[in-house]
Structure 1
Amino acid sequence: MSSSQKKRARQQQGDVNKCVKYSIFFYNFVFWVIGTFLLAFGVWGLVSKQSATIDEITGLVVDPMWMFIALGSVIFIVSFSGCIGALRENTCLLNFFCLALGVIMILEITAVVLAFVYRDEVGDLIGDWIENAIYDYTEDPDINFLLDEMQTSLKCCGANHPDDWDNNVYFNCSSPAVMACGVPHSCCRPEEDGGVNNKQCGYGIRALPEVQWHNYIWIEGCVDLIHFWLLQNIIIITVVIGIILILQIISIFFVRNLVGDIQMIKALW
């Protein structure tokens, strides 16, 4: 018996393809758990810092917790429709899953194309984010962590120049604080003996003549080094994006196959 004949016989018996059905269910269940975790983590992060204010919601959002909430919400909703739709053989939820995933794919492709075409503007946006993050550096532990990790790993300081740290009230040269006219420890060059930098290694550095800065801190801005890193890893990034798109296309194909089975069975009633 051919595969088409087996499929027809199965449909006449009122059965969908169990392998496809439960593959879709478990695949989406995994992402449902991931989405729930990201959403819960983002909400917990905002509540624990008591930072979920109207000003942040309506203004420029810098807090990375909002990214976890947005990403977690999308993953949760889409995977929920695929998971429950497959389990209950609900064509409405399954069609919503296909539509949502199709829209997400279009947005992903559009974002990649726009990021390539308007790469200078993207660089400006990254620079604006870093400058706003510098402003909140001493107030938000998540932003503090992200900036420190970025500056340490990329060996950079500030958005375009170490003087960008004047945007922070504590590192500003007119500040009475001990870190006045300085930069965070993540801007410091590593110790020659390989030891861990003192947390105050960057304090007062910018009060020195600029020609001496390179002896103590990184002087390149992070925006240029992020752009350079992207160019260096363009092949890896392209492959990852391609794999994600292929997985999404396969998901839509399997869901459409399941929807076709369900509709065919209903037509035989």
Structure 2
Amino acid sequence: MRGYRGVKYTLFIFCYFLWVVSAVLIVVGIYAKVAKEKDVVDTLTVDPALLLIIVGSVMFLITFLGCFGALRNATCLLKTFLAFLAVILLLQTAAGVVGYLFTDMVMERTEKLMMKAIVRYREDQDLENAIDFIQKKFQCCGVEDYKDWSHNIYFQCLDTNPSLEACGVPFSCCIHLQNQTVLNTMCGYGMQQLGEPLARQNIFTIGCLEKIIWWAKNNLLLVAGLSGGLLLLEQVCMMSLAAAQISWIRKVQRQKKEPAAVKSGRKDSLWYPAFADFDDD
């Protein structure tokens, strides 16, 4: 009895936690979608706000099946929940294998996506903040180097460009001194006209793609540990708990099938109360 309750409520707690997380993702996605200006051009292949709503909705549905199925001992819901988890696990495994086998293609697509983000830098405030955060965090500038910013119409290094930021880079590329208290947003002006040795004294010249790859390689154990932990929690652990609960319910059904058929003359229901007792006796 205690073993069954442990399996049941452990699965319920896991699913409930992820159910709450999915609800938060949906709320954040809806807020971001509504709060965005209507005339903003979607810069990426998929709008991040829309992506949050879709991912959150799928998580909400799947974890709801797990919560309700575990609490009500409903084998039909638990089987559906288990099938969804199996499909997601297969998709994640396939994505990892494809990413490993076609690394060059993945890197090329990533580079194009990052370059597209640079081109649309000033058109989306959320994207602008994201790029500034990445360049500050990884101490980088552009995709391959700092001159990639010439692809942006505001920073394009042409004599015909009337922008005050022409031939410059965003302030997030600048090297800030430790004792600097006032942020100089004009620190990147004219940096594309300088050679790398001179520009390196004031801004980061290495591209963000190279810096992110370098960070991933140097933190491979951390990345692998987090990925493995999430996979173990979300997939293997919950799949095992769901399968164990289904197996336990089936066992009880088999034990009670013949006596119940004799007494009532009808089949047992596959739907049990929330606090039904499933003993080995």
2:248 pairs with one of 246, 254, 261: 261
Distance 1:192 1:36, change over 3 A: closer
Matches within 5 A, 1:126-205: 126-174=110-158, 175-191=161-177, 193-205=179-191
Letter in 1 for 2:187: C
Distance 1:191 1:161 in 2: 21
User: 1:184-242 CA deviation, whole Å, 9 max, x = no partner?
Assistant: 11111123644454112112221334542112111111111111111111111112222
Distance 1:109 1:69 in 2: 23
- 1:244 matched to 2:230: yes
Q: Which moved more, 1:148-157 or 1:59-68?
A: 59-68
Letter in 1 for 2:214: F
Matches within 5 A, 1:22-171: 22-50=9-37, 56=42, 61=45, 63-171=47-155
User: 1:160-191 CA deviation, whole Å, 9 max, x = no partner?
Assistant: 12122122222222432221211111111123
Alpha carbons 1:43, 1:65 under 8 Å: kept = yes
Q: Which stretches in structure 1 are left out of the alignment for 5+ residues?
A: 1-5, 8-15
Letter in 1 for 2:81: F
Letter in 2 for 1:94: L
Letter in 1 for 2:132: D
User: 1:66-108 CA deviation, whole Å, 9 max, x = no partner?
Assistant: 3322332232122111011112222222111111111212222
Distance 1:51 1:94 in 2: 42
Tell me the SS of whatever aligns to 2:200: helix
Distance 1:235 1:95 in 2: 34
RCO higher in structure (CA 8 A, sep ≥6): 2
Q: Which moved more, 1:203-212 or 1:135-144?
A: 203-212
- How far is 1:137 from its partner? 1.6
Distance 2:64 2:80 in 1: 10
Tell me the SS of whatever aligns to 2:86: helix
Distance 2:39 2:74 in 1: 36
Distance 2:107 2:210 in 1: 8
Deviating above 6 A after TM superposition, structure 1's stretches of 4 or more consecutive aligned residues are none
Q: Which stretches in structure 2 are left out of the alignment for 5+ residues?
A: 257-267, 269-281
Distance 1:70 1:201 in 2: 40
2:193 pairs with one of 200, 203, 207: 207
Tell me the SS of whatever aligns to 2:199: helix
Tell me the SS of whatever aligns to 1:77: helix
2:6 pairs with one of 19, 23, 28: 19
- How far is 1:50 from its partner? 4.2
Tell me the SS of whatever aligns to 2:184: coil
Alpha carbons 1:41, 1:68 under 8 Å: kept = yes
Alpha carbons 1:62, 1:129 under 8 Å: kept = no
Alpha carbons 2:150, 2:157 under 8 Å: kept = yes
Distance 1:103 1:201 in 2: 50
Name the counterpart of 2:275: none
What RMSD over aligned residues (CA atoms) do the two structures have, in Å? 2.5
Letter in 2 for 1:80: F
Letter in 1 for 2:133: E
- The TM-score normalised by the length of structure 1 is 0.84
Alpha carbons 1:63, 1:142 under 8 Å: kept = no
Distance 1:47 1:172 in 2: 32
Distance 2:162 2:146 in 1: 19
Name the counterpart of 1:232: 218
Distance 1:234 1:113, change over 3 A: farther
Alpha carbons 1:64, 1:143 under 8 Å: kept = no
Distance 1:193 1:37 in 2: 39
